[in-house]
């Protein structure tokens, strides 16, 4: 089973892949750059892309999520793992904690959020009962624990429009709604993956306590610094887990 990795903030470096080939995939939604490579001792291809572009120049609200997901699927990817930097709403999830969400709350506003526009293909309503693959989540959680990472299996990912950070009042409201972590890129990515019948999971790394919970003002530099301090953990988690994902039996995500 071919695996796609969407590298979020701080996860840009594809040098852990060997025999890399570049694909510029032309999709109905625009072009997207996807690298194909292999990890050591593993024969299956891994497809890797940077969500924010090679130089982190694309902000969350301008990412071409549809081209990215469509491009991955057109290269034969069936399972997608996305990394994301997130703020924590939960005092128990400190910086450096890995959260594997099982639910989301969508507060994005201005994004192309669906492949389904009616017309000849009709009206489509995609089920979101299990947006994040439970099988993949278990595999990631088990490997992360074996590697000694602080990990929480399950949690509610709150997606905001950005690119600004949230106000403390918004964070208090999200907390009351059950949110655990907040980020700007998880939606519509997960929804588009599910619309394409792709199996999808997010590795959400807490880089900061969210606005108003943190005693300090938030900066993007803080997010980058904490991500840089933990990127090696994410990389070794991916290296150990990808072979288990390619071998594991198909899950129920494929529509
Ligand atoms: N809010 C939104 N997105 C984020 C945050 C945050 O606090 N930290 C990292 N990405």
Domain-located, residue 222: yes
Are 7 and 49 in contact by the 8 Å Cβ rule? The answer is yes
State yes or no: cis peptide before 150, omega within 30 of 0. Answer: no
| CB hemisphere CA count around 118 (13 angstroms) | 0
- CATH code, domain carrying 104: 3.40.50.1580
Q: Give the pLDDT confidence of 162-196 residue by residue, as tens digits.
A: 999 999 999 999 999 999 999 999 999 999 999 99
Question: pTM for the full model?
Answer: 0.96
Are 241 and 135 in contact by the 8 Å Cβ rule? The answer is no
3-state class (DSSP) for residue 20? strand
Residue 174, token pair as written in the block: 């999200």
Domain-located, residue 48: yes
Q: Which atom of ligand 1 is nearest to the CA of 208?
A: 8
- Percent of the chain at pLDDT > 70 equals 99
CA–CA separation, 154 and 163 (whole Å): 25
Which protein residues are within 6 Å of ligand 1, measured from CB? 85-87, 160, 165-166, 182-184, 207-208, 210, 218, 223
- Centroid of ligand 1 to alpha carbon of 44 (angstroms): 33
Domain-located, residue 182: yes
Which residue's CA is the closest to the ligand 1 atom numbered 9?
86
Query: Residue 120 burial by CB count (10 A; 0-12/13-18/19+): exposed, middle or buried?
Result: exposed
- Centroid of ligand 1 to alpha carbon of 65 (angstroms): 18
CA–CA separation, 102 and 87 (whole Å): 16
- Centroid of ligand 1 to alpha carbon of 38 (angstroms): 31
Q: What is the pLDDT of residue 133?
A: 96
Which residue's CA is the closest to the ligand 1 atom numbered 7?
87
Domain-located, residue 26: yes
Q: What is the pLDDT of residue 56?
A: 73
CA–CA separation, 46 and 58 (whole Å): 23
Residue range(s) defining the domain that contains residue 211:
2-112+129-247
Domain-located, residue 180: yes
pLDDT-derived band at 255, boundaries 50, 70, 90: low
Q: Which atom of ligand 1 is nearest to the CA of 88?
A: 7
Residue to probe by mutation, ligand 1, list 52, 166, 169, most atoms within 8 Å of CB: 166
Which residue's CA is the closest to the ligand 1 atom numbered 5?
87
Number of domain units in the chain:
1
Q: Which atom of ligand 1 is nearest to the CA of 184?
A: 3
Q: Give the pLDDT confidence of 81-127 residue by residue, as tens digits.
A: 999 999 999 999 999 999 999 999 999 999 999 999 999 889 999 99
225-244 b/e (C-beta count within 10 Å ≥ 16 → b): ebbeebbebbbebbbbbbbe
- Centroid of ligand 1 to alpha carbon of 18 (angstroms): 32
Domain-located, residue 210: yes
Backbone φ and ψ for 122, nearest 5 degrees, come out as 80, -175
Q: What is the pLDDT of residue 49?
A: 95
Domain-located, residue 29: yes
Domain-located, residue 124: no
Are 113 and 188 in contact by the 8 Å Cβ rule? The answer is yes
DSSP per position, 68-87: HHHHHHHTTEEEEEEEEEEE
- Centroid of ligand 1 to alpha carbon of 80 (angstroms): 22
Q: What is the pLDDT of residue 6?
A: 96
State yes or no: cis peptide before 85, omega within 30 of 0. Answer: no
Looking at the predicted structure, is the pLDDT value of residue 44 above 90? Answer: no
Which residue's CA is the closest to the ligand 1 atom numbered 10?
86
Looking at the predicted structure, is the pLDDT value of residue 224 above 70? Answer: yes
């Amino acid at each position: 089973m071919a695996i796609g990795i969407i590298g979020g903030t701080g996860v840009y470096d594809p040098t852990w892949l060997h025999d890399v080939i570049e694909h510029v995939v032309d999709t109905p939604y625009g072009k997207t750059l996807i690298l194909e490579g292999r990890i050591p001792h593993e024969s299956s291809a891994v497809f890797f892309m940077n969500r924010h572009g090679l130089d982190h120049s694309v902000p969350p609200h301008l990412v071409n999520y549809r081209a990215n997901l469509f491009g991955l699927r057109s290269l034969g990817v069936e399972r997608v793992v996305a990394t994301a930097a997130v703020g924590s709403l939960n005092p128990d999830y400190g910086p450096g904690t890995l959260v594997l969400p099982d639910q989301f709350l969508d507060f994005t506003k201005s994004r192309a959020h669906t492949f389904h526009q009616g017309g000849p293909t009709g009206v489509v309503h995609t089920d979101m009962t299990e947006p994040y693959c439970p099988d993949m989540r278990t595999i990631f959680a088990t490997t992360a624990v074996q590697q000694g990472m602080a990990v929480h299996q399950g949690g509610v990912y709150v997606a905001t429009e950005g690119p600004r950070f949230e106000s403390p009042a918004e964070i208090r409201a999200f907390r009351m709604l059950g949110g655990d972590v907040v980020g700007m890129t998880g939606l519509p990515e997960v929804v588009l993956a599910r619309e394409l019948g792709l199996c999808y999971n997010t590795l959400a790394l807490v880089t900061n306590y969210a606005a108003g919970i943190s005693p300090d003002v938030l900066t993007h530099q803080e997010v980058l610094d904490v991500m840089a301090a933990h990127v090696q953990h994410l990389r070794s988690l991916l290296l150990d887990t990808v072979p288990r994902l390619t071998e594991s039996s198909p899950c129920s995500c494929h529509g």
